[in-house]
Each structure stands twice: as C-alpha cells, then as structure tokens.
Structure 1
Amino acid sequence: MKLLCWNVRGLGKPRARRRLHATLRDAKPSIIFLMETKLQSNEMATARRRCGFLSGIDVSSRGRNWGLFLARKDGCDVTLRSFSTHHIDIMVSRDTEGHCWRFTGFYGAPEEHLRKNSWNLLRSLDNCPNVPWVVIGDFNEILLSTEKMGGR
C-alpha cells in the first residue's frame, strides 16, 4: 500500500492540479493526504473525483487558509476515527484477517503561539497503544533556523 502526503499550498491553481495528477499517475497511491488545499469541501470533492478517488474526507479551508483532504482508492477499507482543522485520523484494514493500522494526517498550526495546542492534540490522539500508528504531515516545526526555507 502506498501513501502520498503533500502540502499543496493551494489546490485551486491549474499548475498545482497538473502536478498532483502527474504525481498520482506516477506513484499510484492507495491513500492521499493533502494539506493547505485552500478549498471548500464541495471543491475538494470535485478535485478528488477528477483524481480518480471516489471516497474521502474533506475538511474545508477557513477563508483562503488551511483545508485538509484525505482520499482512498476503492478496495482500501478505512474507518474514520476523528478529524479537525488540524488532522484526519483513520483506521486502515490491512488484510482479510482483520489486522489494521492507524493513519493520522496532521497539519500543525503555523502560528507559533498555537503550536502547543497542535502538540497537545497529537498527544490526545495517542490512545491506541496496541495498533501500529503512522503520523504524516506538516508539523510546522523546525529544530534549527538553518532548516527554514522561504517565507518568514
């Protein structure tokens, strides 16, 4: 099973959509998680169908910011556990014997004064110690100033 996680920084732009379609064609992921789509839920549903994904979970943007998008291919059995403006948490079935694992797509607050809340959210999601758990996303955190690229 392949996962694709991408901070698209705006899925409404034709260039971003072309890049996404090319990446999906090459990678052929079963699950995709996109952050900063900057789209409303109905726009994300249209984008998801155009990408060949019939099922998914969308968290609308707030104005021209944020927006989360999780889509899965048919045959990939998932159960939604929870979602917010900062995460989408699902349980993924792995095989016919019922083994499963957790996937959390995470988008940490870009505002420095709100990052503690993001980490507290992630800690609160850590509630299934016996299930393998993958957390992927943009945590909006850096350890060293040399890691910072672009923007402020």
Structure 2
Amino acid sequence: MRSHGFFTTDNNEGCSAAPPTIMSCLAWNCQRLRGPGKVRELENLIRALNPSLVFLSETRCSVPFIEKMKRKFSMFGVGVNSVGKSGGIALPWTKELDVSVQSLSKHHIDAHINSLDRMINWRLTGVYGESDASRRKTFWKLLQS
C-alpha cells in the first residue's frame, strides 16, 4: 500500500480516499497574558477555534503561569520565561499531536509536529523577534543554521 497525500493505493485495487487529518494552529502575540481579561480572551479563542497547537508570544509571564494555563486548557507544551516586563513565549498543544521540541530560547521554539496517525508531519519555528536592533542580524543567522 502506498500513500499519495489523501489517497492510498492498495496494489491492483486502485485508489481509495483516506480520511484527511485536520490540524488547526493559533499564533497570538498576547501582549501580556496575565490578568483575567487576557486569560478569558485566550479561553474564548481556544473554545471557538479548537486549535491543535498554539504559539503565544509576548506572554510577559513565568513558566509556572504557563503550566497553569496548559492545565486549564488540558494541553501539553513548553514555555520560556519572560525577561523582566518583556518577552515570554509558549507552545501548548493537544493530546492529538506528537511534538518533539528541537530547540528553544527566549526568542524561539523550534519543534517537529506529527499527528498521532502520522498523516501530517511538519516543522514549526515560532519566533518572538529580537527587540535590540544591533542583535537582530545575529539572531536571524542563528535561526537559519
């Protein structure tokens, strides 16, 4: 049996449609996740869009707060602390995904994403850019390597 996108070929039996796997993602620069208003806004987005994966930037919060949010939404994932009153990123995902984080820093999370049925696999690099203009060139070179 060979797979051709959404179709499978079973020797001499021709092609038959395989059910597609659907994955939705949400990327949000939340500009400070703390506070009941922002948490409620995120909750409404997750309820309305039902994303399999969420990339949050500029959370301005700690990893323990991100852990609390992941539990609230029944998600898994990783987070990076904010530095002072800036930054902070997170990548929560649902149980339907197999995610392997390759690297992370205060500015990026790089991960391989697979659906559990292995129909979808791809790479995600979520970036919260360097705010210091003198460091941007070095930062982008790091991401390219």
Secondary structure of the residue aligned to 2:97 is coil
Secondary structure of the residue aligned to 1:66 is coil
* Aligned-partner Cα distance in 2 for 1:64–1:79: 29
1:47-83 CA-to-partner distances (Å, cap 9, x unmatched) read 2211231x10111111221111100101211111111
* Aligned-partner Cα distance in 2 for 1:15–1:111: 29
Matched residue pairs, number? 123
Partner of 1:46: 68
Matched, 1:81 2:110: no
* Aligned-partner Cα distance in 2 for 1:56–1:94: 15
Matched, 1:122 2:143: yes
* Aligned-partner Cα distance in 1 for 2:118–2:52: 19
- Structure 1 stretches of 4+ moved >3 Å: 94-99
Query: Which of 26, 47, 50 is the matching residue for 1:25?
Result: 47
* Aligned-partner Cα distance in 2 for 1:58–1:34: 9
Partner of 1:8: 30
Quote the offset at 1:38 in angstroms: 0.7
| Structure with greater strand percent | 2
Higher relative contact order (CA 8 A, sep 6+): 1
**Over the residues paired in the alignment, what is the CA RMSD in angstroms?**
1.6
Secondary structure of the residue aligned to 1:101 is strand
Matched, 1:36 2:58: yes
TM-score, with length taken from structure 1: 0.75
* Aligned-partner Cα distance in 1 for 2:69–2:116: 29
Stretches of structure 1 lacking an aligned partner (at least 5 in a row): 125-152
Quote the offset at 1:28 in angstroms: 0.3
TM-score, with length taken from structure 2: 0.78
Identity %, equivalent residues? 34
Alignment of 1:125-144 (within 5 A): none
